[in-house]
Amino acid sequence: MKIIVANKSGFCFGVKRAVDESEKLVAENKVVTYGKLIHNDQEVERLKKNGIIPKDEITEIENQRVIIRTHGVPKRDHDLLLSRGNEIFDYTCPFVKKLQKYAEEYFQKGFTVLILGKADHPEIIGVKGWTEDQAKVIEGVEDLNKIAFSEEEKVCLLAQTTEKQKNFQEVSDLLLKIKKDAIIINTICKATQERQESVVDLASRTDVMVIIGGKDSSNTKKLFQISKNVNNNTYLIENAMDLDKKWFEAAAIAGVSAGASTPDWIIEEVIKEMEEMKETMGMAEAAESKKTPKKGSVVQGKVVEVEKEKAFIDVGGKTEGVLEISEASFRNIEDLTEVISVGDEFSVKIIDLENENGEMRVSKRRAEEKEAIDKLLKAKEDGEVISVEVYEAVKGGILVDVGIRGFIPASLVDVGYIEDLNQFVGKNIEVMVEEVDLENRKYILSRKAVIEKELEKVWDTLEEGKSIKGIVKKLVDFGAFIDLGGIEGLLHISEMGWGKVEKSSDVLTEGQEVEVFLLSVNKETNKIALSLKKMTPDPWTIVNNKYKVGDTVPGKVVRESDFGAFVELEPGLDGLVHISQISWQRVEKVNDALKIGDEIQVKILEIDPENKKINLSIKETLPKPERPKREENEAAAPKQKAEKRTSPRPPREDKKVQEAETETIMDDKGPTGINIGELFGDKLKDFMK
C-alpha cells in the first residue's frame, strides 16, 4: 500500500508561530495560556509537561506571563488581563487580528458589523468583543434574511477565518441585493482553503483517506466532511491508536491529511503505524499487483463484449467486470453499442468485487469523475482555460461535459445577455473553472471569464491617438458601432467625414472592415470614441496645396443664405459665393439663381485657411458683358429717355447690371458659346431668361 500525505496538511502558519514562540518563552520562565493554546489535547498535554499551563478562567491569572492564543480574545479580556498585573504575550494569529481590526474600525464608524461564522467559536467571541459585543453573527443566508435593516443603516460583512468560501459568496451576493452600498471584506484565511483543496485532490486519487485532528477542531471536522464527500472510505482519528487495519485491506493507495492544529509528531506516529499495518497484512505486494483488482481502485480496462445495456470489461483479473449502462456515463445513454466498441480501452473503478450474480461490477462514470475533479481543481488553481462540450441548454444556463456534469449559469455564458442558449448545444467552447463544490457536487464554469480575459488583451492594444482596424457591427441614426475585436467603439456621424454626412449608410455598410482613429478610450466607463475623418488630413490644412486664387474649379451648392450660396469644393471645404458674385446681372434672391445640389464652376477669389474661408465667384467664370456700342446707345436713347421719364433712377450697381442686359447673352449659349444650363444649373439659366 502506498501512503500519500496531502501537500497542505497539519500546522498552519498561525498555530506554528504560537507553539514555537510559546516554547521559546517557557525556556526563559513559566508561562500560562488563557484557554487551550490550540485545539489538540495531545499537543496541549505535551506543552503542559514543558511548563506551558492552560488556564480557562481569567480570574485565575494574576501577575503572570500570559499567552493569548491564535483565536484572540475580546478587548475587555485583554484589558482585564493587563489590569491584573499580567505580562501579555499576544499570539493571536495575524489573520484573526486583521479581522478584529476591521470589526472595531467599522463599528467605530457607525456600521452594523455582520460576522459570518459560529457564534460560540472562541475566534468569533473574541472578534465580537472588539465591537462591544454589538456585532451580529450569522451562519448563512437564512440568518441574513431574518435581519431587518433600516434604510439609513450602514452594513459591513466579515467572515470567520475558517468559513467556507462558498457560504461567504452566497451571503455577500444576498447582502448586496439588500444593501447595495454594503462593505464586504473577505477575511477567510487562505491556509484553510488550501488544506481543503489539497484534501479533495488526494481523496479523489486514493482508496482510503485518514484525517487526523482534535475532536474540538472545527477545521479538522470540515476537512473530514469534504474528504468523505469525495471518497466514502474516509476516517477521522485523533491519533495512531484510533487506526483500524480493516480499513486498508483492499486499499492500494491510502491518503493522509491533518487539521491546522495537528502537530507533525502526531502525523508521523500515524504514518508509522500505517506502515507497520501494511507490512503485517502484506498490503505492499497487493498494492503493486495489478492482477487482483481491489474494490475502490481505478484500473485500466479493455472492452471485450458490448450489449445494449451492459458491456464486459477485461481488468486483468480472473473474471471480467460488468459495466452496466447507468455506470457508463453521467449522461443518459440509450444504447451502449452506440458509444463504446469492442477493443476500446479506458479507466474503470471497481465498485463491487462480487455482486449477487457473482460478477465484478465496474464503473466508467466513477473513474471519470475522479479524473474530471482532478482536472477541474488543477485548472482552477492554474487559471487554465479548458475546452468542454455543451450537451444541453436548461433553464438558467447550459450543461457541459467535463467528464462530469458541469454547469454554466446564463450570466457566465457571455459578457452580455444571450437570448437563445440553444445555439451552443453540440459545440465545444472554452471555459475557466469558477467553482468546484465537492460537498454539493456542483461544478460551475465560466465562458465569460475567458472572454473577459481576451478582452483585457484587446483593451491593452487600444491607445488614444492611434488607429485600429474594426468591423462595422451596426449602423444607427447617430453613427455606427465598430467591433474592435470583442469591444465596441462608437463612430459618431459627425466623425464619419470632414463634410456633412446625412446618413451613416452613405459612408459605411454593416460587416465592412474599416480602419478608425481612437479619439478616446475609457476602460472604466467602457466607452471608446472613434473617428473616420481623422484618418485623412483636415482639408483646411492642405487647402493651399490644392487650390490657388484665380483657379476655376467645380463645386456643388450645399447651402443658401440671404447674402450668398455656400459651395462645397470637396467634403469639409465650403466656400462662399456672395450674392453679388452670382451673376453679372442683379440677383434679388439667391434661390432665384441657384438651388441646393446644383453642380457649378466657380472661380477662387480668396483663400483664408486660418479663418476657414474661401470666397468664390460664378460671374467671374463668365466673360464680362461688353457695353452696348455708341450707335446702339443712340438708337436706344429715345427708349431710355422714355423709361427715364416713368422709372426712378436705378442705383449704381443696378445700372451696371442693366448695362449687361443685352440681347447677346439671352440665348441658351452665352456670348462666347458657353452652355449656361450646364455650367450653373437650370435655375440660373431660367433666371437669366
In this structure, are residues 577 and 678 in contact, taking their beta carbons and an 8 Å threshold? no
Marked catalytic residue, from 43, 104, 123, 197: 123
Return the range that interacts with ligand SF4 (CB under 6 A); candidates 188-196, 324-332, 444-452, 578-586.
Answer: 188-196
Beta strands in 354-404 (DSSP E): 360-363, 385-394, 397-401
Number of other residues whose CB lies within 10 A of the CB of residue 649: 8
Q: Is the CB of 196 or the CB of 297 nearer to ligand SF4?
A: 196
Q: Report the distance separating Cα 495 and Cα 515, nearest Å.
A: 13
Return the range that interacts with ligand SF4 (CB under 6 A); candidates 12-20, 54-62, 134-142, 582-590.
Answer: 12-20
Return the range that interacts with ligand SF4 (CB under 6 A); candidates 6-14, 106-114, 611-619, 648-656.
Answer: 6-14
Q: Report the distance separating Cα 76 and Cα 60, nearest Å.
A: 16
Site string for ligand SF4, 18-57 (x = CB under 6 A): ----------------------------------------
Secondary structure (H, E, C), 81-110:
HHHCCCEEEECCCHHHHHHHHHHHHHHHCC
Supply the minimum distance, in Å, between the C-beta of residue 123 and ligand SF4.
8
Supply the minimum distance, in Å, between the C-beta of residue 27 and ligand SF4.
23
Q: Is the CB of 112 or the CB of 162 nearer to ligand SF4?
A: 162
Q: Is the CB of 135 or the CB of 189 nearer to ligand SF4?
A: 189
For residue 132, is it left (φ>0), alpha (ψ between -120 and 50) or beta? left
Instruction: Supply the DSSP symbol for 193.
Output: H
Crossing angle of helices 190-203 and 218-230, in 10° steps, is 30
Amino acid at site 32: V
- Which of residues 33, 100, 161, 601 is near ligand SF4 by CB under 6 A? 161
In this structure, are residues 527 and 520 in contact, taking their beta carbons and an 8 Å threshold? yes
Q: Is the CB of 260 or the CB of 565 nearer to ligand SF4?
A: 260
Supply the minimum distance, in Å, between the C-beta of residue 374 and ligand SF4.
25
Using CB under 6 A as the binding rule, the residues of this chain from 387 to 446 that contact ligand SF4 are: none
Q: Report the distance separating Cα 461 and Cα 471, nearest Å.
A: 16
Amino acid at site 250: A
Supply the minimum distance, in Å, between the C-beta of residue 80 and ligand SF4.
23
Q: Is the CB of 260 or the CB of 577 nearer to ligand SF4?
A: 260
Supply the minimum distance, in Å, between the C-beta of residue 95 and ligand SF4.
4
According to the binding rule CB under 6 A, does residue 96 interact with ligand SF4? yes
Q: Report the distance separating Cα 444 and Cα 158, nearest Å.
A: 24
Return the range that interacts with ligand SF4 (CB under 6 A); candidates 9-17, 125-133, 444-452, 491-499.
Answer: 9-17
Supply the minimum distance, in Å, between the C-beta of residue 258 and ligand SF4.
13
Q: Report the distance separating Cα 482 and Cα 474, nearest Å.
A: 7
Residue 490's closest CA among 503, 477, 499?
Answer: 477
CA atoms within 13 A on the CB side of 108: 7
Q: Strand, helix or coil at 322?
A: strand
In this structure, what C-alpha cell is assigned to residue 298? 481505478
User: Has 123 been annotated as catalytic?
Assistant: yes
Using CB under 6 A as the binding rule, the residues of this chain from 465 to 524 that contact ligand SF4 are: none
Q: Is the CB of 197 or the CB of 495 nearer to ligand SF4?
A: 197
According to the binding rule CB under 6 A, does residue 684 interact with ligand SF4? no
Supply the minimum distance, in Å, between the C-beta of residue 277 and ligand SF4.
31
Q: Report the distance separating Cα 617 and Cα 633, nearest Å.
A: 29
Q: Is the CB of 66 or the CB of 260 nearer to ligand SF4?
A: 260
Supply the minimum distance, in Å, between the C-beta of residue 131 and ligand SF4.
19
Residue nearest to ligand SF4 (CB): 14
Determine the size of the site formed for ligand SF4 (CB under 6 A).
Answer: 14
Pairing of strands 208-212, 234-237: parallel
According to the binding rule CB under 6 A, does residue 189 interact with ligand SF4? yes
Return the range that interacts with ligand SF4 (CB under 6 A); candidates 186-194, 225-233, 338-346, 667-675.
Answer: 186-194
Of the chain, the end-to-end C-alpha distance in Å amounts to 114
Return the range that interacts with ligand SF4 (CB under 6 A); candidates 7-15, 135-143, 327-335, 431-439.
Answer: 7-15
Residue 3's closest CA among 152, 309, 213, 212?
Answer: 212
Q: Report the distance separating Cα 214 and Cα 221, nearest Å.
A: 9
Q: Is the CB of 71 or the CB of 310 nearer to ligand SF4?
A: 71
Q: Is the CB of 213 or the CB of 564 nearer to ligand SF4?
A: 213
Q: Report the distance separating Cα 116 and Cα 124, nearest Å.
A: 9
According to the binding rule CB under 6 A, does residue 257 interact with ligand SF4? no
Q: Find where cell 447677346 sits.
A: 664
Return the range that interacts with ligand SF4 (CB under 6 A); candidates 10-18, 21-29, 353-361, 533-541.
Answer: 10-18
Q: Report the distance separating Cα 130 and Cα 114, nearest Å.
A: 13
> Residues of 79-89 as b/e, b for ≥16 C-beta within 10 angstroms?
eebeeeebeeb
Output phi, psi for 616, to 5 deg: -125, 165
Alpha helices, H only, 8-74 = 13-28, 41-49
Site string for ligand SF4, 56-95 (x = CB under 6 A): --------------x----------------------x-x
- Which of residues 1, 5, 12, 267 is near ligand SF4 by CB under 6 A? 12
- Which of residues 37, 124, 125, 260 is near ligand SF4 by CB under 6 A? 260
Q: Is the CB of 123 or the CB of 560 nearer to ligand SF4?
A: 123
According to the binding rule CB under 6 A, does residue 192 interact with ligand SF4? yes
Q: Report the distance separating Cα 325 and Cα 312, nearest Å.
A: 11
Supply the minimum distance, in Å, between the C-beta of residue 189 and ligand SF4.
3
- Which of residues 6, 9, 10, 14 is near ligand SF4 by CB under 6 A? 14
In this structure, what C-alpha cell is assigned to residue 90? 499576544
Residue 531's closest CA among 589, 465, 453, 595?
Answer: 465
Chain residues binding ligand SF4 by CB under 6 A are 12-15, 70, 93, 95-96, 161-162, 189, 191-192, 260
**Known catalytic residues?**
123
